[in-house]
Amino acid sequence: MILKFKNTFITDNSLECQKDCFFLCNDQNKQFVDQAKEKGAKIIDVAECKKLLNIDENIQIIGITGTNGKTTTAAAIYSILLDLGYKCALCGTRGAFINDKQINEKSLTTEPILKTLEYLSKASEEKCDFFVMEVSSHALVQNRIEGLKFKAKIFTNITIDHLDFHQNFDNYRLAKESFFTDESIKFINKDAKAIRFNIKNSFTYGIENPSYYHIKAYSLNEGISAIVMAKNQSFHINSSLLGLFNLYNLLAASALVNELLKPDLKKLEAAISNFGGVCGRVEEIAKNVIIDFAHTPDGIEKILDTFKDKKLIVVFGAGGNRDKSKRPLMGKIVEHYAKTAIITSDNPRDEEPDAIIEEILKGFDNKSKVLTITDRKEAIYKALKLKEQDDLVLILGKGDENYQEIKGKKYPFSDKIIIQEFYKNQGK
């Protein structure tokens, strides 16, 4: 990318270099330094780039990593901090935001370091106190957070995902663990599969297992109501969000804010209640029709378990060019919970959609309760036509994504718009 700077520019791509530009050398591109020099570029590292961009080193950077929950936890922290009167930036799967204004569209969960430095530069201009970011396992392996000093970090959970990149679960776990070796303040989910972490400045949170921040009592009827205990203090979580998984997200977010700021607990409770959730995450589009981003076995199981008392019609698929081992597991989980399952296309990328569907289908023992409809729009329409009064339709995998990626091209596609079109055509 090219970042304009005074009368020249900064780039991390040697092919873009020109005389007297700046080439940001980092772990991902250091093999191209000589090429950049030949073109007359000035070589800088992350520390020098920060100085050029006038990045305020006092901004407190908060990083969240885990298989599931990163986006909602990050958004909750951002929302709570803004409500408490702090200036704050946020970047992750949903894009980049500064003080309630979106400054960039959706992209990678964790951008290359030059893009993150651009966000930090803008956050500095806006006098932000905090910078909240999602940190992916890919970014940890590729060191896309090079040179960033984190004030606090959160580990949400770890389940099977991204094995196409990491090759095996041990490598995936090691990537996550690498984020928690320092002495920054850390918040570790005690109920998740265990990881190794530096215990210095670490706090645990949980519901089932003993932890520093733990839930004393909770209810998940019509939203979330819970009492959080932490040493000699307690506060309430009251939220319109649904599901046990969201209680974990809110617990992590509130624990971090409480530990960093020691705010008035009544103000903290009000700020937690004001967080309305994230678009595309358990979002009800029509009565008893919900979309969600869940695309891993664990993510799917958590949302289906939340609605286990309902008669479920579930529309789902799996992304192409990604970990194939999770596909039958997703099928097995959906079969366990669903009245009717409809397997369809997600983002097939370079794979054939029907081949992906067949791999998911292997997870079903009883094929009579499953339909396979390759066209995602047709699959959604079918689910809505099948829906009876007491049924709940869950459309999983894409959340608020506005495209479908097929053979290297992104085509406009939105589960939300498809649902709205269906009911508009029905005159409802």
**Residues within the annotated binding site?**
66-72, 109-110, 136, 142, 144, 322, 346-349, 397, 401
Distances from the Cα of 233 to the Cα of 198, 212, 224, angstroms: 25, 11, 20
**CB of 421 within 8 A of CB of 380?**
no
Q: How far apart are CA 413 and CA 273, in angstroms?
A: 32
Residue 79's region, left for phi above 0, alpha for psi from -120 to 50, else beta, is alpha
The edge-to-edge listing of strands for the beta sheet with 95-98 is 101-104, 95-98, 88-92, 130-134, 60-65, 150-155, 185-189, 202-206, 213-219, 224-230, 233-239
Distances from the Cα of 255 to the Cα of 112, 213, 235, 376, angstroms: 29, 7, 10, 40
Q: Which residue has the tokens 């000093």?
A: 149
Exposed e or buried b per residue across 159-179, where buried means at least 16 C-beta atoms within 10 angstroms of its C-beta: bebbbebbeebeebbbbbbeb
Residues flagged as binding site for meso-2,6-diaminopimelate: 322, 346-349, 397, 401
Distances from the Cα of 250 to the Cα of 89, 236, 245, 411, angstroms: 19, 11, 9, 34
Question: How many residues would you count in the chain?
Answer: 428
Residues flagged as binding site for ATP: 66-72
For 280, the token pair is 């595309």
One-letter identity of residue 220: L
